[in-house]
Amino acid sequence: MSTLTVYNTRTRQKERFEPIEPGHARVYSCGPTVYAAQHLGNLRPYLFADLLRRALEAEGLRVTHVINITDVGHLTSDADTGEDKMERAAARAGRKASEIAAFYTEKWLLDRRRLNCVPPEVLPKATEHIPEQIALAQILEAKGYTYRIADGLYFDTRKFPRYAEFARLDLEGQEAGARIGDVPEKHQPADFALWKFPVAGVERQQEWDSPWGRGFPGWHLECSAMSVKYLGKSFDIHTGGVDHIRVHHTNEIAQSECAFDVHPWVRYWLHNEFYEFGGEKMAKSTGNVLLLEDLLERGFEPLAFRYFFLQGHYRQQQSFTLEAMEAAATGYRRLLAHAAEVRGEKGEPDRGRIAPLQARFREAVRDDLNAPRALAVAWEVTRSPELSPADKRSLLLEFDRWLGLGLATEEPRTASRESDPRIDALLARREAARATREFATADRIRKELEAEGILVEDTPEGPRWRRR
RNA sequence: GGCGGCGUAGCCAAGUGGUAAGGCAUGGGACUGCAAAUCCCUGAUCCCCGGUUCGAAUCCGGGCGCCGCCUCCA
């Protein structure tokens, strides 16, 4: 029996997780839109989903995890021009939309691998599920949930009485302050497109035939169509960023519950908060972004960013600053060094001694995935004078099932792995000087190397050096 | 205008009724020819005001400040 507890946005409370099908957790995560590189903020939901996935597996559950890839464009906010992000990116690069999508999909997958995220079971692409999306829209049309206007086929939110329930929307209040609608023909501001017709005079690469004519799917449709295809008409968990609660997830629920006559369509909705970056959210639309690659260029290890992620709770806004990133990198490096030191221990752990630490770690992670608390337990293990090296090895490697920090495999960045004839020669000269206690000469050589970014450290095993 | 969240040491951040986890940085010590690395020690009464309570960072009320959603957005 699982004792994992998660905060369910649907009920606004922490609930014990019970899968619909005993022993099997079915999870859908809103995936990336691949018209641009994913920045650090975009990466948080996947780190979060990965933590969730690992926690479910640690509970002994089989996990089927689906993450969609949105490779068809959504309209930009400037709806009048009919511009589409995917199409625009393609036009700018002078490439085909499919090439742009493939390119950024690969980049995202690379980031996932670098961050040690467990690969999902299914990675469905929106463009490869057009028939499923059309079929879903047809069901809704047949059931009378839709209406057609010049702009496209729309979902009539008035026909779904529970529409405002999930996000606790105040539709009246919302209208009071709402801007002038983007599509004046819409019956209610909340109504959304299931199928869009092309805008006259605008060439689109991504268009398909449908019962309503040529066009392209509304952007909420793909998640409903693909999740249901791979996970069933009702499944356990749906994850995404908090920004999706209001519109995207509300609309997904409306479509799915109406089409399949299920309620609740998804039992547990889990949402991650945003990273704050320089006093505002990190967002592509504002250009306020930093990529994982940018961190690597600055000399950070990818898993140091995962460590940064684990230092905060997923449901809390977290401030990303380079200072905080440095702190995380140092912390990660040290934790890894501790793990590496005891990694090879062959002895058996003392079950009585490690049990309390195991219990506290599990308790933290089972309490709505409280990674910061779990990390603190890991640190306690490294500092404990009571635990034997074998105890520590056993605990840290077990904890890493959840943490995914590569504690069993990653090499700590301390000793130099490089060799350079010139530097080695200089170090040899310095050693000679030290041997004869000519410390002025020795220090001069070290200073010279430091000036070019090379740090020399004397150890009992002799000098070693590293860059930066 | 509507809705949600947050404000804890220099920084990142746990903790939601019983007297403040953890990491990083700082300072001190050990070690070192000196450093580096490492190890040990070291700091906050929790935005402000009022209330409830034997007791509040934690509950209630009122301020101030910050972030987000309502439009593409993780």
Nearest nucleotide, C1' to the C-alpha of A174?
B2
Confidence of residue A75 (pLDDT cuts 50, 70, 90): low
User: Looking at domain A5-275, which CATH architecture does it have?
Assistant: 3-Layer(aba) Sandwich (3.40)
The CATH class of A298-403 is mainly alpha
Q: Which residue is nearest to nucleotide B12 (CA to C1')?
A: A324
Across all strands, nucleotide nearest A458 (CA–C1'):
B36
A80: pLDDT strictly greater than 70: no
The number of residues in chain A equals 468
More confident residue, A232 or A13: A232
Measured CA to C1', what is the nucleotide nearest A85?
A: B72
Find which nucleotide's C1' atom is closest to A414's CA: B37
**Looking at the C1' of nucleotide B35, which residue has the nearest alpha carbon?**
A457
Question: Confidence class of residue A240 from pLDDT cuts 50, 70 and 90?
Answer: very high
pLDDT for residue A446? 87
Mean pLDDT of A8-17: 91
Residue A127 has pLDDT above 60, yes or no: yes
Kindly state the tokens that stand for A454.
Answer: 């090379």
Chain B nucleotides reached by a protein CB under 7 Å: 1-6, 10-15, 21-25, 32-40, 66-74
Distance CA A339, CA A159 (A): 57
Q: How far is the CA of A460 from the C1' of B29 (A)?
A: 22
Measured CA to C1', what is the nucleotide nearest A332? Answer: B23
Per-residue pLDDT tens digits for A351-377: 999 999 999 999 999 999 999 999 999
Predicted confidence band of residue A176 (pLDDT cuts 50, 70, 90)? very low
* Lowest pLDDT segment from A25-39, A72-86, A431-445: A72-86
pLDDT in tens, A190-225: 889 999 888 777 777 888 999 999 999 988 999 999
In this complex, the nucleotide whose C1' atom is nearest to the CA atom of residue A272 is B74
C1' (B39) to CA (A42) span, angstroms: 39
Q: Are strands A216-217 and A13-16 parallel, antiparallel or unpaired?
A: unpaired
Q: How far is the CA of A418 from the C1' of B67 (A)?
A: 45
User: Does the interface ipTM go beyond 0.90?
Assistant: yes
pLDDT band at residue A285 using 50, 70 and 90 as cut-offs? low
Question: A130 CA to B70 C1', in Å?
Answer: 29
Closest CA to A234 of A258, A256, A249: A256
Q: What is the pLDDT of residue A415?
A: 52
Question: Mean pLDDT, to the nearest integer, of A283-291?
Answer: 74
Specify burial of residue A356 (Cβ count, 10 A radius: 0-12, 13-18, 19+). Answer: exposed
Q: Round and report the angstrom distance from CA (A341) to C1' (B38).
A: 12
| Closest nt to residue A43, judged CA to C1' | B74
User: What is the overall mean pLDDT for chain A?
Assistant: 88
Domain boundaries, chain A: 5-275, 298-403, 421-467
- Of the candidates A265, A267, A372, the residue with the CA atom closest to the CA atom of residue A315: A372
- CA A249 / C1′ B63 distance in Å: 35
Greater pLDDT, A257 or A427? A257
In Å, what is the separation between the CA of A352 and the C1' of B42? 33
C-alpha distances out from residue A460 to A138, A211, A428, A457, Å: 74, 77, 15, 10
Q: Give me the mean pLDDT over the A303-315 stretch.
A: 96
Distance measured from the CA of protein residue A44 to the C1' of nucleotide B13, in angstroms: 16
Q: What is the DSSP string of A76-93?
A: -S-GGGT-BHHHHHHHHH
Which is more confidently placed, A413 or A101?
A101
